[in-house]
Amino acid sequence: MSRTEPQGQAVVDASGTAGQHSIAVEGLAKSYGDLVAVKGVTFNVDAGETFGFLGPNGAGKSTTISMLCTLVDPTSGRATVAGFDVVTQRSSVRQHIGLVFQDTTLDDYLTAAENLKFHAELYGVPRASVARRLADVMEMVGLADRADSLVRTFSGGMKRRLEIARGLLHSPRVLFLDEPTVGLDPQTRSNIWEYVTELKRREGITLFLTTHYMDEAEYCDRIAIMDHGSIVAIDTPEALKASIGEDRVELHTADDTAAIAALADRFGIDASVSEGAVAFHVAAGEQFVPRLFAELGVGITSIRVARPTLDDVFMTYTGRTIRDAEASSGDRLRSSPFMRARRG
């Protein structure tokens, strides 16, 4: 699949030169013993781009992000982030990235401001600018009035926003967001995205995120779909959807098995049962519906025709829906000692 530049987005990197990669990855792989978590992925992310890793849990997203953040050493391959090698220039990479993990990493017994000050000291933010910068990022995530509250009094959404503020505190060039909205309610999720979009506009940084929410992938300039440790497709959301070129049709029928057989016999269509409906892809779905009613020969109780979504893209490239993929794989890859998850 061809790689296209993000649409409607000026690609200008930190030094003002266009087109330089903010993240460059070549053949990056990681195995834990016999278990191959990431099977040699290659991709580039341009400065200022919002780049998303999409895939089910266990696809290798977190392991890849851990390697880019210098938390896990690659088994082979190489990667640079903000121009620094993730193995040989670890400190420099860490200095130039912000991290927001899917599990909270705040100290509940400190206030929000104390958490941020702790971070500023560890990252060597110049003392003279700490107070100003702290007020700035707290303002950005809408927590300015809660700076002196203990973090333990915060809701899940507020904690996540505070983590995002902290990730930005030292003015990183790349902000990594590992499942930034997992476990949050839809309202909070959409708020988080508002903040992220706004601060990206203000800070002009590269965003690298992982998600298994299809709708969130739409916020990205480009998406890499990951499955079983490999990147199976990489492009803009629009291009990915267009590449399928077919609409998704979902049928509820009197007899699903008969319907699937009939679809194969009469139309040569390969359908499958997904989430309780007979689903298949077909070009020009609306025009296909009258033929279906006339020729299927199995009672149809309801029908739905939809433009391709990223879920369809995922299904096309991996042969299953992301939810099915979730169900079949656990958290087997999160084995690093520092990565131990505490899922809410």
Partner 1 sequence: MVDDQGQQVGAGSALAPGGRPAPRAGASAPAASVVGVRVAGGTLNDDLRAIRVVWKRELIRFSRNRIRIVTSLVQPILFLFVLGTGLSPILSGSDHFNFRTFMFPGVIGMTVLFTAIFSAISIVWDREFGFLREMLVAPVHRSALVLGKCLGGATVATIQGAIMLALAGAVGVPYHPLMLLILIGEIALTAFALTVFGVLMASRISQIEAFQVVTQMVVLPMFFLSGAIFPTSKLPQWLAVLTKIDPLSYAVDPLRRTVFSQIALSPRLNALLNPGVTWNGWRLPTLLELAMVAVAAGVMLFVAILQFSRTD
Q: Using DSSP, state whether 85 is helix, strand or coil.
A: strand
Nearer to partner 1, 57 or 102 (CB): 102
CB of 193 to partner 1, least distance (A): 20
**Using the 8-state DSSP alphabet, how is residue 6 labeled?**
P
**Using the 8-state DSSP alphabet, how is residue 316 labeled?**
H
Q: Which two tokens stand for residue 298?
A: 């199995």
Cβ count within 10 A of residue 234: 22
Q: Which two tokens stand for residue 87?
A: 């193995």
Nearer to partner 1, 48 or 285 (CB): 48
Q: By CB under 8 A, name the one of 6, 77, 183, 204 that touches partner 1.
A: 204
Under rule CB under 8 A, residue 340 binds partner 1: yes
Q: By CB under 8 A, name the one of 23, 40, 45, 48 that touches partner 1.
A: 48
Q: By CB under 8 A, name the one of 8, 186, 268, 337 that touches partner 1.
A: 337
Nearer to partner 1, 170 or 248 (CB): 170
CB of 219 to partner 1, least distance (A): 18
Under rule CB under 8 A, residue 253 binds partner 1: no
Distance CA 280, CA 274 (A): 9
Distance CA 232, CA 285 (A): 26
CB of 326 to partner 1, least distance (A): 23
- With CA atoms as reference, report the closest residue to 133 among 158, 163, 113, 149: 113
Residue ranges in 65-124 that form contacts with partner 1 under rule CB under 8 A:
69-73, 83-84, 89-92, 94-96, 99, 101, 103-110, 114, 117-119, 121-124
**Backbone phi, psi, residue 53, to 5°:** -100, 120
Question: Helix, strand, coil proportions of the chain in percent (round to 5)?
Answer: 40, 25, 35
Q: Which residues pair with 78 in a beta bridge?
A: 26
Under rule CB under 8 A, residue 153 binds partner 1: no
The contact set with partner 1 (CB under 8 A) reads: 10, 12, 14-16, 48, 69-73, 83-84, 89-92, 94-96, 99, 101, 103-110, 114, 117-119, 121-124, 126, 128-129, 132-133, 136, 171, 173, 203-205, 336-340, 342
